[in-house]
Chain A
Amino acid sequence: MGYQFEFADVLAQWPLFLSGAWLTIQLSALAIVFGLVIGIFTAIGRRSNRVWLSRLCGIYVESVRNTPLLVQIFVVYFGFAGAGWKVPVFVAALSALIINLGAYTCEIVRAGMDAVHRGQIEAAECLALTKAQIYWHVVLVPALEKVYPALASQFVLLMLASSITSQIGAEELTAVAARVQSETYRSFEAYLVVAVLYILLSYVSRMAFWAVGLLAFKRRRKLGTLL
């Protein structure tokens, strides 16, 4: 192959790259939405007074955070097959990503909720709010505002980590590089193009999360400071 860089053949495959990027975006977006919801519920469970619930959530979180995503993807993929469910690769990949993100967002959200001063919860109790109302208005909403930057970073990391789902056949961006490589024999160029696309995607998604943060959190928009 020598030192000759030949990008022409690789770049001619641009529709393939686009479809791979689109699948990456879809996987990431869905994983983020469901992963965050699971993370929030797990965080609430983790802080619960019921010891069995707190322990269960703790086991889930520690198991996921101390094992590699690649192995989790295999377990989920073969788990579905073992249970006799024929699911499309997309579903298996998405499930693994959701389970993974849920554990990481749990810890982030939990830290935010633990940071709420006891005094505010007392004040809310004295305003005759129910436990659930207090949890939502006084604990969860400010916690989310406070940890939003950390959550956004985690979401970008998840988008990059989605590349691992190529190993079970998901046709996202990294898998496309392999396909292009097999058709053009230009391995390095193919992966270089893909790397550039990921860098672009992470930059664009960071901007998007920042914008969403300003939209969702009025206080941040008005005052410009972090909670």
Chain B
Amino acid sequence: MIAGSFSLTHFEFLLFGAGWTLALTLIAFVGGGLVGFGVALGRISSFAPLRWLIAGYVLLIQGTPLLVLIFLMYFGVAMAGFEFSPLAAAGLALTIYVSAYIGEIWRGCIESVPRTQWEAAECIPLTRYQRMKLVILPQAVKIATPPTVGFMVQIVKNSSLASVVGFVELTRAGQLVNNSIFDPLPVFLSVAAIYFVLCYPLSWWSRKFEAKLGVHVRVQTE
């Protein structure tokens, strides 16, 4: 290939990659959300060994860089003898990563439901299951909306690491374009701009939610 300049076709290829970024984000959010829900509930369980197990899981995942997690999935599954596509490896790693972080966020939100609500529900009386389903969780969901939307921004950004195992999302698309035209700055600045367009509305939305609710679960992630 000869070095050319950054053209519309190249930009369209970037958009194609962006589509896969969104797909990967969705997979990670749905999968990670399902497991994360279990993590949140497990963390507040009355069964102590379960609590410790889940706490240990969260500590391990939160202490490992996502990049290393992706490599572990990629090589680990190959070792087990399965044919694993880059998408599957990245998807699995992201799902695990999301489950640990979103699980903690949601646990925080469940615990921010005022103590008085728990006590009132207990006194009606409702079983633990009914309490959670009818009283606590609906309120926790409201508190959880801003940080969850904010965390989706993290997932979109973290999906960029799937490029490292060869999955063609937006960042990898940028690398491929750069490999053919050798003009990295316009390419990667365009890649950054597309990420910005994907992320900024979510960030803004999350802040608006937070302002409207006035409630605030402080979460800091990269």
Do A and B assemble together? Answer: yes
* Residue positions of A touching B, CB distance < 8 A: 1-3, 62-63, 65-72, 74-75, 78-79, 81-82, 104, 108, 150, 153-154, 157-158, 160-161, 163-164, 166-167, 174, 177, 181, 187-188, 191-192, 194-195, 198-199, 202-203
Expressed in whole angstroms, the Cα–Cα distance for A160 and B221 within the complex equals 11
B25 CB to closest chain A CB (Å) equals: 12
* Residue positions of B touching A, CB distance < 8 A: 59-60, 62-69, 71-72, 75-76, 78-81, 153, 156-161, 163-164, 171, 174, 184-185, 188-189, 191-192, 195-196, 199-200, 203, 218, 220-222
Please state if A174 and B68 are interface contacts (CB–CB under 8 Å): yes
Please state if A79 and B185 are interface contacts (CB–CB under 8 Å): yes
Main secondary structure of the interface of B (DSSP, over half): helix
Chosen A-B contacts, 25 in total, with CB atoms closer than 8 Å, are A1-B79, A66-B196, A66-B200, A66-B203, A67-B157, A67-B192, A67-B199, A68-B159, A68-B161, A70-B161, A70-B163, A75-B189, A78-B184, A108-B220, A157-B220, A158-B222, A174-B68, A177-B68, A187-B71, A187-B78, A191-B72, A198-B64, A198-B65, A199-B60, A202-B63
Contact for B184 among A82, A104, A195, A199, CB less than 8 A: A82
B110 CB to closest chain A CB (Å) equals: 20
Please state if B153 and A66 are interface contacts (CB–CB under 8 Å): yes
Contact for B65 among A66, A75, A174, A187, CB less than 8 A: A174
Q: A191-B72, A195-B68 are in contact. Are A167 and B203 (CB under 8 A)?
A: no
* Identity of the chain A residue whose Cβ is nearest the Cβ of B60 in the assembled complex: A199
- Point out the residues of chain B lying under 8 angstroms from A158, CB to CB: 222
Known interface pairs A3-B79, A74-B184; 13 further A-B residue pairs with C-beta atoms within 8 A, sorted by A's residue number: A1-B78, A67-B157, A68-B156, A70-B171, A78-B188, A153-B220, A154-B220, A177-B68, A187-B71, A191-B72, A198-B64, A198-B65, A199-B64
